[in-house]
């Protein structure tokens, strides 16, 4: 028998999507595509001093809840983690992982845990995607394989919104006939009825490549196409719109929002709507609101409906420009967008004793480490923390609780079904 294989019982799931078990020698083992309760044969992929990364060789005792993945390339594609698990089980394990991450850091989990907000669509929900491309020798597209830079090619993907899937199919038909060999990725936004495509090329561009891009824009019915060429020097060829529109209905009002290529737009618009409404409910009664890491105003613009004044801080000039357009479009004069580095902006707020009732935090995956020690120095009595990473969230919450704030609630929003990703909203009160 292979000496690198061993038998293991899966006890739980970890943030990252892997199953967790303990080998006979006491080492913790991480294995993908398994379900707690299953007995498996695993093979060592990499042995570390305190844990082991392993792969699944054989399921010896299968979980009764295991189901057939909808995607035929699920085993290799890095786009999804849990298609082999029923959706309700996915939700429960995400809550357990969130609980474990916070408990591990702070030693306690808030008593007031609200019900999970699920996604109405567990497939076909994703309105944003970055697709990898290659020509070897003909065009193929897909996500990267698990733990690899190789492409897991597909003709169709069950998690993509139909607008994106139709666009990709039309693109593939053209590129198989008229290849652009320097093309390496396609970024597609479809949060509403508009579809934007950004085609990225390593270059150099051949004379016929621009004609092919013109044909794509004219023939497949998209709102805008950006052809980004990186070598020998960067050049952007833009056809049609640079932005895409979407509508959010909150408090009997319709908010018109827009985002552009190379800007952040939420991938699951139904859950995004639920998220916005919930943040507005938590912020109710606030007079002055500070929205940090604001992007183009996904939260700032709706919050302007309930607050006297909203200040939105964002370091991207592109996103700030979209935010200002969104404010003007919705005739909201009480929200201002400032293009500033978050840390410098927050330090100025403290130094100048600028007062805010509520701070909304929506940071990237690394959390708010850059401003964490300054938050207790602010005047805010309420913190609304929107997180996409429970590990950095747990670190930040533990610090804030140790420095004058108390946890009031935490609620999970399932933005990405079939994956391990966890979106949550925490409320802290001074």
pLDDT above 70 for 122: yes
Paired tokens of 152: 């897991």
Q: Are residues 331 and 412 in the same domain?
A: yes
Worst-scoring range by mean pLDDT, 36-45, 241-250, 274-283, 314-323?
241-250
Q: Catalytic one among 256, 309, 339, 388?
A: 388
Which of residues 104 and 374 earns the better pLDDT score? 374
Under the banding of pLDDT at 50, 70 and 90, the label for residue 104 is confident
Q: What percent of the chain has pLDDT over 70?
A: 97
Tell me what the mean pLDDT of segment 389-407 comes to: 94
**What's 213's domain CATH number?**
2.40.50.1070
Q: Which residues touch 70 (CB under 8 Å, ≥6 apart)?
A: 83, 123, 158
Residue 164 lies in a domain: yes
Residue 15 lies in a domain: yes
Cis peptide before 173 (omega within 30 of 0): no
Tens of pLDDT along 286-318? 999 999 999 999 999 999 999 999 999 999 998
pTM above 0.75, yes or no: yes
Residue 156 lies in a domain: yes
The whole-chain average pLDDT of the chain stands at: 93
**What's 7's domain CATH number?**
2.40.50.140
pLDDT above 70 for 5: yes
**Measured at the alpha carbon of residue 106, what is the angle toward residues 100 and 111, in degrees to the nearest 5?**
70
Q: Which residues touch 144 (CB under 8 Å, ≥6 apart)?
A: 78, 132, 150, 151, 152
**What's 349's domain CATH number?**
3.40.50.150
Q: Catalytic one among 38, 101, 314, 423?
A: 423
Half-sphere exposure (Cβ direction) of 276: Cα atoms closer than 13 Å: 27
Q: Are residues 147 and 278 in the same domain?
A: no
Tell me what the mean pLDDT of segment 403-415 comes to: 94
Tens of pLDDT along 77-90? 999 999 999 999 99
φ/ψ (deg, to 5) at 326 = -65, -40
Q: Are residues 133 and 228 in the same domain?
A: yes
Q: Are residues 159 and 305 in the same domain?
A: no
Q: How many domains are contained in the chain?
A: 3
Q: Are residues 352 and 378 in the same domain?
A: yes
338 beta partners = 313
pLDDT above 80 for 185: yes
Under 8 Å between Cβ of 338 and 345: yes
Domain extent for 212: 128-190+195-240
Q: Is the dihedral of CA 249, 255, 261, 263 positive or negative?
A: negative
Tell me what the mean pLDDT of segment 188-196 comes to: 91
Per-residue pLDDT at 192 = 87
Q: Are residues 52 and 161 in the same domain?
A: no
Length of the chain counted residue by residue = 430
Under the banding of pLDDT at 50, 70 and 90, the label for residue 1 is very low
Paired tokens of 133: 């491309």
* Cα Rg of the chain (Å, integer): 23
Q: Are residues 377 and 286 in the same domain?
A: yes
| Known catalytic membership, residue 101 | no
| Known catalytic membership, residue 133 | no
Residue 384 lies in a domain: yes
Under the banding of pLDDT at 50, 70 and 90, the label for residue 263 is low
Going by the DSSP 8-state scheme, the letter that residue 206 receives in this structure is: P
Residue bearing tokens 């070598």: 231
């Amino acid at each position: 028998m292979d000496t690198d294989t061993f038998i293991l019982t899966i006890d739980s799931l970890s943030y990252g999507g892997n199953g967790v078990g303990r080998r006979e020698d006491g080492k913790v083992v991480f294995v993908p595509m398994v379900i707690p309760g299953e007995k498996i044969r695993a093979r060592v992929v990499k042995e570390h001093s305190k844990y082991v990364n392993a792969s699944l060789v054989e399921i010896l005792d299968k979980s009764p809840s295991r189901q057939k993945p909808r995607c035929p390339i699920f085993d290799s594609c890095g786009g999804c983690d849990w298609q082999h698990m029923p959706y309700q089980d996915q939700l429960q394990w995400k809550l357990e992982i969130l609980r474990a991450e916070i408990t591990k850091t702070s030693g306690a989990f808030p008593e007031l845990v609200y019900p999970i907000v699920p996604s109405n669509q567990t497939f076909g929900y994703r309105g944003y995607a970055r697709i990898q491309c290659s020509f070897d020798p003909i065009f193929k597209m897909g996500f990267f394989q698990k733990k690899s830079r190789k492409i897991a090619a597909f003709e169709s993907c069950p998690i993509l919104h139909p607008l994106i899937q139709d666009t990709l199919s039309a693109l593939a038909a053209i590129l198989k006939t008229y290849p652009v060999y320097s093309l390496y990725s396609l970024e597609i936004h479809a949060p509403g009825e508009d579809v934007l495509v950004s085609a990225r090329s390593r270059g150099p561009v051949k004379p016929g490549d621009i004609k092919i891009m013109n044909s794509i824009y004219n023939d497949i019915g998209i709102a805008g196409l950006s052809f980004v060429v990186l070598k020998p020097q960067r050049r952007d060829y833009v056809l049609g719109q640079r932005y895409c529109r979407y509508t959010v209905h909150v408090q009997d009002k319709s908010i018109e929002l827009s985002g552009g290529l190379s800007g952040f737009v939420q991938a699951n618009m139904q859950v995004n709507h639920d998220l916005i409404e919930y943040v507005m409910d938590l912020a109710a009664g606030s007079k002055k609101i500070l929205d940090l890491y604001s992007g183009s105003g996904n939260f700032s613009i709706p919050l302007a409906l309930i607050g006297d004044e909203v200040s939105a801080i964002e370091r991207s000039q592109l996103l700030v420009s979209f935010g200002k357009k969104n404010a003007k479009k919705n005739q909201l004069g009480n929200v201002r967008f400032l293009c500033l580095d978050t840390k410098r902006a927050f330090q100025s707020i403290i130094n100048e004793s600028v007062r805010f009732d509520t701070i909304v935090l929506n940071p990237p995956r690394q959390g708010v480490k850059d401003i964490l020690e300054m938050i207790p120095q602010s005047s805010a009595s309420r913190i609304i923390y929107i997180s996409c990473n429970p590990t950095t969230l747990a670190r930040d919450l533990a610090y804030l609780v140790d420095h004058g704030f108390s946890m009031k609630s935490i609620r999970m929003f399932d933005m990405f079904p079939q994956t391990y990703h966890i979106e949550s909203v925490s409320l802290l009160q001074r």
